Amino acid sequence: MVSTQLSILTISGSILIIATFSVVARRGFIDWLNAYRHQSIVLAGVTAIIGYITGIWEIYIAAALTLIVKSIIIPKVLTYVTRRLEIEFKTETNPYVSLRTSVIISALLVGLSYFLTQQIPFKSDPVVNVLLPVSMAQFFIGLFVLVNRRTVLSQVVGLLIIENGLFLFTMVLTHGVSLIIEIGIFVDILVGIVISSILLFRMGRTFDSLDVTNIENLRDD
């Protein structure tokens, strides 16, 4: 392994985390979407690098798919849906935890990811070594976004971040599982996004708002 490759990996990992943070730290939906798009492009890049390092050609396909699906199709779908809705959804007004605290918590989550992944034997694979905690961090931050945010749209974004983390994780650890499964995962996620878009759409129609408080009727207290 060349040290430049290693440093490229490290840098790209950092960029990924920063991109993730930018989702946490912002209020507007369009901002998130852009942040997500950037993150996905970085992700595609990282994937390609991994492909280059490992020399497995399938990873290039995955990188290309990422680029197309995540940085183009999914943002398009979401923009389309939100435009059709014509309601006030643009900003997340009232997260449970303030943005400042969120950033701090996210930082803690990054630390946690590093802490937790130490136990995993890496067989001194630098790709895994560098990027596994990053993917986990992304994962946890995505989860945190989901927990923290009060609009349905931002939850979708949280889900997307988790998914990116997941993708990176898979790539890093296994350099892509078999192609059928990979495609299956992609299709699942795509369909998932489509369905959630439909739901978003319906919700907007039904409640005239995308606030989660509208969907708190089914409860036991």
Residues that bind another protein (CB under 8 A): 96, 112, 115-116, 118-121, 123, 139-140, 143-144, 146-150, 152, 155, 159, 162-163, 166, 169-170, 173-174, 177-178, 180-181, 184-185, 187-188, 191-192, 195-196, 198-199, 202-203, 206-207, 212, 214-221
Please say which residue, 27 or 202, places its beta carbon nearer to another protein. 202
Tell me how far, at minimum, the Cβ of 4 lies from another protein, in Å.
26
Please say which residue, 12 or 197, places its beta carbon nearer to another protein. 197
Cα(first)–Cα(last) distance of the chain, in Å? 58
CB 58 within 8 A of CB 176: yes
Tell me how far, at minimum, the Cβ of 147 lies from another protein, in Å.
5
Let me know how many helices (H) and strands (E) the chain has, helices first. 8, 0
Quote the tokens at residue 45: 């890049």
What angle in degrees, to the nearest 10, is found between the helix axes of 74-85 and 152-174? 170
Tell me how far, at minimum, the Cβ of 36 lies from another protein, in Å.
16
Residue that is written with structure tokens 């995955």 in the block: 62
Tell me how far, at minimum, the Cβ of 69 lies from another protein, in Å.
16
Amino acid found at 54: T
d(CA 79, CA 29): 10
Q: Which residues of 7-40 are buried (b: 16+ CB within 10 A; e: fewer)?
A: ebbeebbebbbebbbbbbebeebebbbbbbbbbb
d(CA 205, CA 62): 36
Tell me how far, at minimum, the Cβ of 65 lies from another protein, in Å.
15
Please say which residue, 4 or 124, places its beta carbon nearer to another protein. 124
Please say which residue, 35 or 132, places its beta carbon nearer to another protein. 132
Please say which residue, 35 or 193, places its beta carbon nearer to another protein. 193
Please say which residue, 7 or 118, places its beta carbon nearer to another protein. 118
Tell me how far, at minimum, the Cβ of 216 lies from another protein, in Å.
4
- Beta-carbon neighbour count of residue 70 at 10 Å? 25
